[in-house]
Chain A
Amino acid sequence: MPDLLNVCSDFGNTLARPRDTTRPVVLVGFKRQGNLGLGYLASTLRARGYPVEILDFEDPYEKIRDAVLRAQPVLVGFSLIFQFYIFRFEELMRHLRADGVSAHFTMGGHFPSLSHEHALELAPQLDSVVRFEGELTLLELVDCLTTGQDWRSIQGIAYRQSNYIVATPMRALVHDLDELPYPDRAIQPHIILGRPVMQMLASRGCARTCSFCSIHMFYRSAPGKVVRTRRPAEIACEMKMLHEERGISLFLFQDDDFPVFGPAWHRWTREFLAELYRQDLPGRILWKINARADAIDPELFAEMRDAGMYLVYMGLESGSEEGLVTLNKSITVQQNIRAVDSLKKLGILFDFGFMLLDPSSTFESILENVAFLRRIVGDGYMAAEFCRMIPYDGTPIKDQLAQQGRLRGDICHPDYDFLDPHLYDFYVAVNEMLNITGWIHGLQALSPQLKYAWSEFAVIERLFPSVPDVQAYKQTLRRITRQSNEVLFEVVEDLVYAFIEDRKPKYSQDALREECRVFVENLLDARNEYVLRNRSYFLKDLGVEVPQPA
């Protein structure tokens, strides 16, 4: 555990400050899939004596209101992770105020940090915004509030004063992440085949400068080292503790960019692997990372696979060189392909982010994108999925589009003009075609279910050694994925040609919806038949006594 008595450090220095910990703090945010951001804020406050309650933003209003009124907190902190939810948060704050909650209201997250003026304008009930990494700022804010000191002078906040908005000097990023206590994890973990899943963090920050991403702006705006890694031994210790105390078997690293690029981080990763072995975790746990395609080193990744890494998520984003330049990915199509081929050769599952449309798109580049998708997942290695680039607040591309006079929409629906106006009609058509059929988005859509089935398969393959016929099931999954991917590619290509040739598309929404339904049914049938047939093996590997027939 970090040394809490170390007073010569960022967090240690907070020990000597006066505080009154009799009143609690309430944090409100999305708790689905866990929320490490809220977890770190809560544990930091608790380590200094404050009772903290975390409420789920998705709970009914009455439940949130009753919990806040019961707690009588000194501060309510709102964690905004999707900028288009600002109005829902504002509504929540307005109702809480109307119901008599007088606590200090503050908000954190990417959007309020990068667009603090906008956030304070849109949510007038807010007393302040905590900007950038929030642990130490929130702690100091609460300390000031509980002791009646002037909170307006602390670093890293913004607030309203008369008719203008004041932002205090930025607070430096936390230099040593291991000083922070382990995050609060008071959530019911998701379960994959009896194996509990939990989020982890090995580092913070991203050294890259992708134009559509606000992560690097978030970390570069505040002073201090942008990318910081935890000590490998600390991470392995935390994983061991979670495995032993809560049975966690799958760890999803949420790092913006897991530290695997270049010699220094190769050394760091190898040290991390050694610590996992020291804790005797490989073979008992699996873990997933996010990484850039140009960081896939076959030798290192083979070692990572052997130590339990089962999935690599990469932001491939485009199959067109111009698209990659527009998105400032600093990578080539060939590098992306090389990474995919390496992972396939190593037998490591991969998932990927992909933007079919971006501000530089043309009908030709869309065809290039489909060709790229066919090249990487035409074999059914993973389900194809894509989206359109959205110009979020705080991103360089939003500013570029504004300068070019192409920025459209509002905070909840950020949008832009394509260079070819026909592309907007194409976007509407492809979006309606695929959303309505439930292919990529929507309730129980096909692509997310296929992706989940592949994750589940990796768990079966690696953590259920007794379960037979794994390869046959893999072939079935691959066939369904391959066939459905091909339909998806054909639909998009046909739609492109329909626009180019000014004709009607071949696929109707009804036909596609039916095709999608059949794929989903085949997937669920194959999966459920396999698990039902091998139920006793699954239970045996989980250490659950198999009920005998009466």
Chain B
Amino acid sequence: MGLEKEVFRLEEFLRFNPINPGDPGPEIYRVVASLPQERQQAVVSVISEAVGAIANIKGAAYGKIAGIIGGKTQGGV
């Protein structure tokens, strides 16, 4: 993101600050929201990577189970 550094020179009230609508979600949302914006992205990246890794492990497990029982996977997940 080329503009990342420049954006933080903007007045706080001109920055992009989406409302998190509806269900407040897991506790981690509140923790992330409480961080300065420039630190939020780093946390989000770690969480996204972890969630992705979990999904891959689950996907591989589905594949192994399918192999063992000779069935099909759940929509490829």
Residues of A within 8 A of B (CB): 30, 32-33, 58, 82, 190-194, 425-426, 428-429, 432-433, 435-436, 438, 442-444, 448-449, 452-453, 456, 495, 498-499, 502, 504-505, 509-510, 513, 521, 524-525, 527-529, 531-532, 535, 538-539, 542, 544
Contact = CB atoms under 8 A, between A and B. Distances in A.
Residue among A443, A524, A528, A542 with max Cβ neighbours from chain B (10 Å): A443
B75 A509 contact: no
A443 B29 contact: yes
Contacts of A499: 75
B51 interface: yes
14 contacts: A32-B20, A58-B24, A191-B17, A192-B17, A425-B74, A429-B75, A432-B55, A435-B51, A436-B51, A444-B18, A452-B16, A525-B3, A531-B16, A532-B7
B32 A428 contact: no
Interface residues of B, number: 36
B16 A528 contact: yes
Nearest to A443: B44
Contact of A425 (B6, B17, B56, B75): B75
Contacts of A505: 75-76
B14 A193 contact: yes
Interface in B25-73: 28-30, 32, 40-41, 44, 47-48, 51-52, 55-56, 59, 72
B55 A509 contact: yes
Contact of B18 (A432, A436, A448, A538): A448
Contacts of A524: 1, 3, 16
A535 B9 CA distance: 11
Given A513-B48, A524-B1, A452 B18 contact: yes
Contacts of A542: 13
Interface centre among B2, B16, B24, B44 (most CB of A within 10 A): B16
B10 A532 contact: yes
B2 to A, nearest CB: 7
Contacts of B52: 436, 509-510, 513
Contacts of B59: 509
B37 to A, nearest CB: 10
Main secondary structure of the interface of A (DSSP, over half): helix
Contacts of A449: 16, 18
A429 B24 contact: no
B24 A32 contact: yes
A542 B28 CA distance: 34
A194 B13 contact: yes
Contacts of B56: 509-510
A525 B1 CA distance: 7
A37 to B, nearest CB: 15
A505 B72 CA distance: 13
A539 B28 CA distance: 34
Contact of A531 (B1, B14, B19): B14
Contacts of A82: 23-24
Interface of B: 1-3, 6-7, 10-11, 13-14, 16-21, 23-24, 28-30, 32, 40-41, 44, 47-48, 51-52, 55-56, 59, 72, 74-77
B64 to A, nearest CB: 16
A456 B16 CA distance: 9
Nearest to A521: B1
A130 to B, nearest CB: 22
Contacts of B10: 528, 531-532, 535
B16 A495 contact: no
Nearest to A422: B75
Task: Identify the interface centre among B21, B51, B77: most chain A CB within 10 Å of its CB.
Answer: B77
Given A448-B18, A532-B7, 11 more contacts: A32-B20, A82-B24, A425-B74, A428-B74, A449-B16, A452-B16, A505-B75, A510-B52, A524-B1, A525-B1, A528-B7
A495 B30 CA distance: 33
- Across the A-B interface, the 3 shortest Cβ-Cβ residue pairs: A429-B75, A452-B18, A504-B76
B77 A58 contact: no
A429 B74 contact: yes
A532 B5 CA distance: 12
B74 A436 contact: no
A82 B25 CA distance: 11
Contacts of A539: 11
B34 to A, nearest CB: 10
